[in-house]
Structure 1
C-alpha cells in the first residue's frame, strides 16, 4: 500500500449543512427520524436484541436470543439515531442511546471482543458461530457486526461530540488489528462490512492502521494459495482486483465494492479503481433491474447470470439497493461523472424507496417488478410490507440512510459545486473562494422546473455543475440494458439570471463558471414526458414488453386502480400516456393515465402509480412491465 494516504477528490456537503423542505423527501426523512428509529428500537427491545447485551454483561440471566448477527441491527439503528438527532433533536432519544452505549461497553470483554452470541455462554454457542473466536468467519458475522458498530460509533461521535461509543469501537478495532494481518491470522469475513467501518474509523481518527486493516481484508479475498476460500457467494472466489463480474450475495457484493472504492480513493490504488469500474459496468449493463434493484435470485439473495432479470420472481433486496446507493455515491466522488448519480437516483427513488412504507414502520425485504396476487414473494411468505422480520437487516438499514439523505444533494471539489439531486431546500457551504448559500425551489420529481438561488456576499469566482439526468438526454440508463422508445424526450433549458444560455456539458453536468455576487438565480427545466422503456433483447423475461417512466420514477399498474388482471394488459406504442397529479392519492402523487388492451382485446383505461408507493392498499396484482403491442 502506498505510504501516502489520501481521500476522495470530491467531498459531499455534509447533511448537517443541508436542509430538505420539499413535499416528496422531507416527509420521508421526518418519518424515518421520528417514527422508524424509535420503532426499530422498540422492535429490538421486544425481540431480545438489546437484552442480549445485558446478558453478555452479566446483568441478566438467560441464553442468547435470536440470530447471531442480531447485534448488528441495534448498531444500525444507533447510527440512524445519530443522524435523526441532527434532523429532529430529541433529548429523550439521546439519553436512550447513551444508556444503550453503556450496555455495549458493559457487554464488551476485557480485550475488546464484542459478540453477544459467544460472550453470553461461550460453552453453548450456536454451532454456526464456531467453537472458538474467529473459527467460522465464513458464516458467523463476527466481523460484520462490529463493522456496523464502527460506523455507528463514528456517527454518534460526529452527531454529539461524545466519545463513549467511539471508545468501545476503538477498543474492539484494536483487538481485530492485533489478531488479523499479513503476519497474523489470515482470514476474511463471509459478509463484508467491517471494511467500510474501518475506513470510517480511519477518516475519523486519522490512524492509518484502520485503513491498512480494511485493505488487508480486501486483499486477502480469493487468495486460494494462502487460505481456504469461501467461494463466489461471498465474493471470495478471486482476488478482488481480478474480479470482473458481479456475483454472489448482492448485499455482500455491494458492501465489498463500496469498500474497494474507498481503497481506490484513499490509497490511490489504481488496480482497485479499474476493478470497481469494470464491476460497475457489468452490473449496469447486464444485472440491474429497471428500478435499480440488484440481486435477481431468491436463492442466495444473489445476482443471477447476465441478463437474468425476471419480474415476478425478482428478489432485489432493499439492503442491496442501499448498498448500491453507497457504492454509486463513492464512484461519483472518485470520478466526478454524473452517470453514477443517475444510477443512484434511479435506485433511490425506486428500488430502495419501495422497501419502506409511507408509515415508516412497514417494510419490503424483497422488491419484485410484478406481483400476480398468488406468489408470496416477500420474506417469510408474505405479499405485503411487514412490520418486522426475523432477519431484520432491511428495517434497520433504512433507518440509517433516510435521515442522512440530505448529504447526497451537493458535493464540492475545490471551487466547483456539484448539484446532484433536486429537492427543495437550502444549504450553506464554504468554498475556497468564500462562503455561499443555496436555495432550491422545485416540485421535482413531479415537475421538471428547478430554480436555484445562489448567494455570494462578495464577488466570488467559482463553478456550479448541475447534473443533467441521463433520461433528459435520451439515455435513461448509462448502458444498453434499457432504452427509451420515445425519440422526442423534450429539451433541457438553462437560464442564468433570467437569460437562456447554451448547455456546456462536462461529464454529464451543465457547467457554469462565472463571477457570482449577491443572489443569482439558475433555472433548469428538465423534460418530464412519460417514456416507454424496453429491455435489451438478451433479457428473455422482458422480450416483447414495455414499461413506463417519468422523470426519475418507474411506474407500476396496481389492481387497486385497474380492475382485472394487470399482468395481462398490453400497451400500443402509439397509445397516448398523460400525467395527472392526484393530491388525494398516496400522499399526493403524479399518475400516468392512458388506454391499454386487455386479454380479450378490449380497450380499457389504466392508471399507473410510482413503483415506490405500490403495496399500500392491500394484496393484489402489480406490474411494471406490460405487453408491447
Structure 2
C-alpha cells in the first residue's frame, strides 16, 4: 500500500479503485529518483536541514501553532493576522512528509505526529477545521462572517485552508502509511460533500486549491464524491453577480477568476496564485473526466499567459495591486510583482499540461520558472526569502511594494512554506512515461527507477547542468526491452527563448544538438520537441547529448515598450542579472553595446558555485561635481538571476540598454 501511495504522490497514479481515465502520461514519482546532483540535491538538503526546521519554529514563534492549541481548548483569541495562517502548518507538514519519504528521520516523524494530534484536537465534531472561527465561533474575525462559509466567495479562505490540509494529509499518508492526518482530512472532506453540491450550498471558492486537494483525496480513496465536488466548485465560477462593466477587478470578478464560467475564459486573469491553482485543478478534473471544454479553455489561457503575460525569467503576476495579472503585455520592470507562490503554481500547472499533451513546450516553461523565477524566492541560506521577485532595483526609485532585500519570514508567509513543499518533489518532474514512451524532461544527475511493461528500467544521468551542456544517460533495463526514449531538446537550444513570440534571440543560434548512442552519432527523429530514439535497449547502452551553452541576447516583442532597445542575457536555462556587488556599486547605469562578447567562468567560491558572465560594457557616470554626465568603459559581471540579493541590498538589472537614447535628470 505504501508503495502505491508514493506513486500517487504527484497526483497522477491510479488508486485502489482502479480509475480508468486519467492523464495519458504518468510522472515518475520523486521517491523513485535518487539524485547525485549538486545543484538540486544541495537545495533539497538545505530545505530538509534548514528551511523545514525554521518553518516549524516560525509557526511556533508567530502563534500559528498556538491558534490550534486555542481551537482545541475552545477558548482564546486568534493570535495571528490572516484567516489562512493555518495553511503554513499544513504546507510545512507536507514538505516535511516529502522529506521523510526519501530521508527517514525519527525525530521529525515524531514531531509531525504531535502536530497532527494537535490538529485533530482542533477539529470540530462534524469535521469543520478552521481555527480563525473555531477558537471562538460566536465571535470570529471579520474575514469569516457570522456563519460558516458565508464569506468563502470573498476572503474567509475556509476552503483554501481545507485544500492545503488535504494536500498535507495526502503527503503524510503516502510518506508514512499513517492515517492520522488523512482521517482528519477525510472527515473534513465528507463535511464539504454534505454541505456543497447540487441542491445544497453553492459557492465559487474565493481562493482556489480545494479543487486540487479533493482530487488528491479522490485518488487515494476512490470516493467519486470528492472528484464531483471539485468539478462542482470549478463550475460555480461565473455565476455570481458582479458589475461586469467595472474596470475594478474586485468589482467585476476577474480578481477571483469569477467574472465568467471557466469554459468561457481565455485569458490568464486576476490573482496569479489563485489562477494557477484553478487551472491546475481544471487540468486534473479534465484528465479524470475527459471534459473537453475544460481542455479547450486551459489551452487558450496557457497561450495567453506565455504569449502575453510572462516575464523573461518565467515569473507571472505583474501587478502588485491584487498580486495579479495585468492586461496583455503589461509587464513593467521597476514595479514587477512576481509572487513566488505564483511561480510554484506555474510549475504545478505546466507539469499537468505536459501530462495532458506530451509536448515539450510545457516543460520548457516549467524549466525556465524552476531555474529562475522560483528558486530566486529562497536565499542560498535556506532561511531568507522573497515574497516578490523584482526585475529591476534602482537606487533613485523608491517602490515600497518591491522587496530590496530578503526577509526571514513575512506576516503573510505563504511563499516560504510553499517552497518547503515544492523543493523536495523536484525529482518527480524529471521523468514520465506512457507505455513504451519514456520521457526525460529535466537534466539532473541521478538514477530514476521505472517500470516499462512490468519490467524494471533504470536511467542514470551524469552531467554538470545547468553550467555545462554535456549530458550522459546510461540505460539499464533488467533485460532487453523496446522503449521509445524521448529526450527533451530545450526550446532555448532551438532558437526559442520562450514558446511564443513574446521574447526571441537577437541572433539565431543555428547549432544542431548532437546525440550519440554508444559513441556513434545517431540521426534522431523529433516529435513534439523531443528527440526520439526507438530501439531494443540493453544494459550498458549509453546516450550522450551536447547542448549549446552560448550566451544569448534576448530581445522582447515590440509590444513591451519598457524593454525596447534592451537585451537580457541567457545561457542555457538560466537568465542573468547584473548586481551592484560585482559592478562597482551600481548596476542600472550599464550599457551593453552590440559588439560585446562574453566569457563564461565557473566560480566555485561565489554564491555556492555559479557560472558568471563577463564582457566589456559602458557605464553612465556622473561627475563628482554633479555638473556633467559621461560614459566610461567597464567590465560587466552578470550572475544567474536566481542568486541575486544574497550579499546585501543594492541595485540589480536584467534588461540592459544597448545605447543611450536619453538621460533622466534626477535630484539626489
TM-score range, shorter chain: over 0.9
Kept in 1, the 8 Å contact 2:75–2:135? The answer is no
Structure 1 residue 59 displacement after superposition: 7.4
* Residue among 46, 56, 70 paired with 1:41: 56
1:473-496 C-alpha deviation (Å, 9 max, x unpaired): 111200000000122353310001
Q: Which position in structure 2 is the counterpart of 1:258?
A: 280
CA distance in 1, matches of 2:584, 2:260: 50
* Residue among 497, 500, 506 paired with 1:485: 506
Q: How do 1:60-459 residues align onto structure 2 when only pairs under 5 Å count?
A: 61-137=76-152, 138-224=154-240, 231-373=253-395, 375=397, 382-432=403-453, 434-459=455-480
1:336-360 C-alpha deviation (Å, 9 max, x unpaired): 0000000000000001010001111
1:218-275 C-alpha deviation (Å, 9 max, x unpaired): 0110024799997100000010010011111000011101111111111111000010
Kept in 2, the 8 Å contact 1:433–1:462? The answer is no
Kept in 1, the 8 Å contact 2:100–2:109? The answer is yes
Kept in 1, the 8 Å contact 2:74–2:135? The answer is no
1:183-231 C-alpha deviation (Å, 9 max, x unpaired): 1011121110100100111111111111100000001100247999971
CA distance in 1, matches of 2:201, 2:235: 14
Kept in 2, the 8 Å contact 1:354–1:614? The answer is yes
Structure 1 residue 60 displacement after superposition: 6.8
Q: Structure 1 length as normaliser, TM-score?
A: 0.97
1:123-150 C-alpha deviation (Å, 9 max, x unpaired): 2211111111011011110000010000
Number of paired residues? 626
Structure 1 residue 577 displacement after superposition: 1.3
Kept in 2, the 8 Å contact 1:64–1:117? The answer is no
Kept in 1, the 8 Å contact 2:585–2:650? The answer is no
CA distance in 2, matches of 1:429, 1:553: 29
Structure 1 residue 90 displacement after superposition: 1.0
1:466 aligns with 2:496: no
- Shifted more, 158-167 versus 565-574: the winner is 565-574
CA distance in 1, matches of 2:533, 2:399: 47
CA distance in 1, matches of 2:563, 2:519: 45
1:553-592 C-alpha deviation (Å, 9 max, x unpaired): 0000001000153212111222111211111111111011
Q: Which position in structure 1 is the counterpart of 2:655?
A: 625
- 5+ residue gaps, structure 2, are 1-18, 245-250, 621-629, 660-668
CA distance in 1, matches of 2:454, 2:117: 44
CA distance in 2, matches of 1:535, 1:213: 42
Structure 1 residue 457 displacement after superposition: 2.9
Q: Which position in structure 2 is the counterpart of 1:25?
A: 40
CA distance in 2, matches of 1:151, 1:501: 44
Q: Which position in structure 1 is the counterpart of 2:638?
A: 608
1:540 aligns with 2:540: no
CA distance in 2, matches of 1:118, 1:51: 14
Match of 2:553, SS state, is strand
- Shifted more, 4-13 versus 568-577: the winner is 4-13
CA distance in 2, matches of 1:337, 1:517: 27
- Shifted more, 143-152 versus 577-586: the winner is 577-586
